[in-house]
Structure 1
Amino acid sequence: MSTVETVSPDAIESARVLGARNRAEILRAVSRVTQAYAADCMGVSASTVSRALEDCDRWSLMLAALGMQVVTAGSMVVDPHELTALESMALKYLETRRQQRTQEDRP
């Protein structure tokens, strides 16, 4: 049995773009804390971190191909369904506030 799956050009481009974003986020994070600090936290030498960063492009692209993205630990990730629900609630709230203001403005 063959498990060969054709990947569309759009999917390849999407993974490439997300991979570049992943790579940039990783490199920004390393520059914020320095390779030496990262190495100390990991219990390895700074040169080990430096060598690991040589594979950053490949790992960033693999994460993207798996549908994953790199975000900082303080980030909040919201799935599309949660975002739609939040937008719906915000719209209802804003509509209610507008109606209240309209009623308050009436003599």
Structure 2
Amino acid sequence: MSTEEVSPAQIESTRKTGARLRAEIGQRIAVVTQARAAELLGVSPSTVSRSVQDLDDACNLLAALGYQLAPIDAVVVSKDDLQALERMAYKYLQVRIERA
């Protein structure tokens, strides 16, 4: 267990991230609809409705754990991998420009 004190700024950041996650999920639920989500889950629409009511706590927990959402067709890379890719692209383009 961490003995590091949580700052008000960290609490606010977690709250804002949780709210953003909740908004993203809410927008997606509006597109898919609760009825369709219930069909896909094999549960009643009222079960989905109850789950949506618990969504705020779940989103705040995800935010506190440091998780983000990504669409199913997204490719997620770490910051280190992205920086490595950028460095390689920069070197490649630098050589091309020098040869031109």
Q: TM-score, normalised by structure 2?
A: 0.88
Matches within 5 A, 1:1-107: 5-101=4-100
Give unpaired runs (5+ residues) of structure 1. 102-107
CA RMSD of aligned residues (A): 1.7
Residue identity matched to 2:93 = L
User: More displaced, 70-79 or 36-45?
Assistant: 70-79
- 1:15/1:64 contact within 8 Å kept: yes
Please identify runs of 4+ aligned residues in structure 1 that moved more than 3 A: 2-5
Aligned residues: 100
Deviation per residue, 1:39-74 (Å, 9 max, x gap): 011111111111111111111011000111122211
Separation (CA, whole Å) in 1 of partners of 2:3 and 2:36: 43
- 1:25/1:71 contact within 8 Å kept: no
Residue identity matched to 2:51 = A
Q: Choose 1 or 2 for highest CA Rg.
A: 1
